[in-house]
Amino acid sequence: MKFLFRRSQAQDPRNNHQRRALYAPRLSLLLLCASMVLTLGIGTTLTRAQGEGNLRRQEDQFIQKYTLPKTPTKAPVYKPKPRPRPAARPRPKAAPAAPRQRRSNPAPARVAPARPRPAARTQPRTQPRSQARPRSQPQSTPNPIASTPNIPLSEYILQFNRSPIVGNRLRMRGVYSEARLGFTRPRGWNVKTAKALIRFQHSPALMANRSNLTLRINGTSVASVPLNRKQSQVANVMFAIPTTLIQDYNELSLVAQQHNTTGCTDGGDATLWTEVLPDSKLIFQYQVEPIPLNFSRYPYPFFDQLSLDANRIAYMLPQGNVQTRSVESLESWLTAAPRLQASLGRLADFRPITTRLVETIDELEWGDSLVVMGTPGDQPVLKSLALPFTFSGNQILDGNQIPLPDDVGVLALTTVNDGSNPVLVVTGNGPDGVKKAAQFLVQPDTSKLGTGQLIFVDQVRDVPIPSSRNWPGYLPEENSFTLEDIATQPNGKPFKDVTVRGTAAPPVEFDFRALPDDRFKRGSSMNLVYSYGPQVNPRTSAVEVLLDDVLIGGKRLTKRDGSQRETLKVDLPANLIKPTSKIKVAFRLNPREPEECGKITDQQLTGTVHGETNFKVNREPSVQLPNLELLQVGYPFAAPQDLSNTAIVLSETPSDTDLLTLLAVSERLGRLSKADSVQLDVYTIEQLPDQIRRKRNLVGIGTREEFPFPEVFESSGLRLSNALGRQWGEASVQTLPDSEGVIKEIMSPYNNQRVLLALSGQTENGLDRVRQILTKDSWFYQLQKDTVLVSSYQQDPAGYDPDAYKLEFFELARSKKRIEKTSALSKASFFLQQNWWFLALGILGVTFLLYGISQLYLKRVTDQKSH
């Protein structure tokens, strides 16, 4: 009770005074803190309210300006039609192997190895495509084909000879041999059946009960057949591939096990061979499923990285023909279309693209993807398409039926021809809007934001111009770097440690691509960091370093128990490093125990290349122009990599051939560059600003009479004159007809630090030959010197035909210009290296000078002594 009623007891006044004195400062501090918190809270609330109010007002203004139309009730759906049956006439012209293909189809039915298979499997092999559906329906009722009966069934034949590693045959030698081929499954394919028709022949010395050929798909064995043909007869075997094994990226492996004796077989015996013929093929029956169009899938379906054929792009030309088409109607098209084509070239990399120009929708063919680019006034076809917005005259209206500003771009997706041809619409009410819409698709960071079927592009981020020596995939600008800095994995990620196994281990290969304007000096080196496992034979095992298949260093693997992170310093020869160089690190691994019966136990033998392998290079920027060989890597037009230092110039009234050549050049420059944007500019000669003419590298396109820079053909060397005339030196001739094309590079007459590339010909046919060279890799990478004459006896030759074109190279420039940023001492040193006889003359001159000085001195001394 005492504790309960303690507060009711009398208290000392002195104690109360002390307590007040003690609590007063605390109460003041508490009140001060409370007032500060209250003030901050009120201020933050007001600021947030103001910020939300401003943001709401901005959103309201945006909504009022650019109200999106109502969402379409039915999104456009891409419905690819079945592949058309090849016509009988053009097939032999386009590919001579086609008749061979038709004769080989019935062959499997007559071959004994194929007959033990069920009859239901052999019927689709021999039936014509036109009868595929009626015959397969009774058999496919229990199959997945019946699940989508409205989608027709298509067939695709992929021949082995399309792979460059096959050539005339795919040969396998030794006791155990394996050959691999890769193929893809295009997007949208629902594969119903997959078969492999393998045509092969083998050595007659093989024992049938110990030799066989096995087919694998993505590491899974499908079937095996014995190698039992007599007298190397050609065998046809049809393998049924489970469709569950087919992925986006696939690998087909053929494994041959070969023996010619009942005992031990010598692996080096020349009679152990099997050859797979190049007309072997994969046969797919598939359905292409309808796909709703959406910008989140862009660039599909306009470009499919998994496609087995060339992607087909058709650009709709602005209204009018060559004579009636105005320059104003081409203003936005000339910039937007090449930039879009360059971005597609970057996506394509090595994959082919077929580009066409059309004037009406009726000209579209199977597999074409249409791109309509321009304002509604330039492209009247826009009003006939099923688009999610409306027009008022030649103005695009937003959701409130208000015309969009001229600088707002519009992107839309739709289809034509019952959904079989997808359409990409790049438009706006003004040229600035069209360019802005195209730029949205060109820049990867902004294109990822796209979704739906309609996009209003109000603003596009300005991407900084990269350094002219910042080339992704090439050596960095720094002179010291590691392997992780220059090499990438197939998935695009930085290089990591790579381990290889076995006696026939493939080399670890990576690009060592010098910058195009690099000039290497002595003193460059590579410090290889590597490891190897135990059980290697130290007498016969080694590691080798090869630069472009030239051995530049090596070292024995001397430790029986293996070693971790050993180093090998290798000098890099300055004369071998090029913009196309590759370095290979090859491990020559041999086991301690010899092989038994042709078999080697070698999977325990390992070699590893580590990512901390480092390099030191001694170089300086110095390049000699003109040189068409540098055009193979895009220099100097791809410096910087966003193509901002290049301008393409056409005649005042460009023809369709001029425009196709323009797209071909843009695509090629896109393939040769990597950047976050494309800033390529295109002008007609009348619109070309004088500042652009003087400061940029120029590309001129046109026939001789309409060429925008006639001074190119009035300079030294080969000159094209009027009336189909040619001049070279003092020789002058006239030819009829002149269907040859000309590729010529000179130093720009407007700036001696820039170049001018001429793509021309006396006729449209000659200019088209130049376009074909630009689109075909096997011929483009043959360009050299400074002038090339292109001729062909075929209308549209195949790129793989070695006789398709005839290229004649000339070194016609009287003098070359060296573009460099080096010191005076370096310039003098390089000059003496290139002109060593000046050094000899200099030594003789100095010798005579010293001799004369010494004679004068001796004469003066003798004169002094005589006096």
> Could you state, in order of their start, the residue ranges of all structural domains in the chain?
1-65, 96-132+142-288, 314-457, 480-593+600-621, 627-655+671-815, 835-866
CATH superfamily of 96-132+142-288: Galactose-binding domain-like (2.60.120.260)
Task: Check if the beta carbon of residue 124 is closer than 8 Å to that of residue 132.
Answer: yes
CB 771 within 8 A of CB 668: no
Name beta bridge partners: 555.
Answer: 543
Task: From the options 3.30.379.10, 3.30.499.10, 3.40.50.150, 3.40.50.1360, give the CATH code of 314-457.
Answer: 3.30.379.10
- Minimum mean pLDDT range among 66-70, 420-424, 855-859: 66-70
DSSP states along 478-520: SSEEEHHHH-B-TTSPBP--EEEESTTPPPEEEE----TTEEE
pTM over 0.85: no
Q: Given CATH 2.60.120.260, say whether it is the number of domain 480-593+600-621.
A: yes
Tens-digit pLDDT profile for residues 768-785? 999 999 999 989 999 999
Distances 292 to 3, 81, 452 between C-alpha atoms, Å: 83, 15, 10
Looking at residue 753, the DSSP 8-state letter turns out to be: T
Q: Is the fold of 314-457 the same as that of 480-593+600-621?
A: no
Lowest mean pLDDT segment, chosen from 74-83, 304-313, 368-377, 412-421: 74-83
Give the up-direction half-sphere exposure of residue 127: CA atoms within 13 A in the CB hemisphere. Answer: 16
Beta strand pairing status for 220-226 and 212-217? antiparallel
pLDDT band at 503 (very low <50, low <70, confident <90, very high): confident
What is the CA 711 to chain-centroid distance, rounded? Answer: 35
**How far is residue 586's CA from residue 603's CA, in Å, rounded to a whole number?**
16
Residue 68 in this model has a pLDDT that exceeds 60 = yes
Q: Where are the beta strands (DSSP E) in 317-433?
A: 353-358, 368-373, 390-392, 395-397, 409-416, 421-428
Alpha-carbon gap, residue 370 to 658, rounded angstroms: 20
pLDDT at 445 over 90: no
pLDDT tens, position by position, 369-385:
999 999 999 999 999 99
What 3-state class would DSSP assign to 625?
A: strand
Cα–Cα distance for residue pair 330/656, rounded to 1 Å: 12
Residue pair 241/281 in contact by the 8 Å Cβ criterion? no
Residue 249: pLDDT band by 50, 70, 90 thresholds? very high
CA distance 784 to 633: 12
Q: What pLDDT score does 269 carry? A: 87
Rg (alpha carbons) of the chain, rounded to whole number? 36
Judge whether 318 and 378 are in contact, CB under 8 Å. yes
In a 3-state reduction of DSSP, which class is residue 526? strand
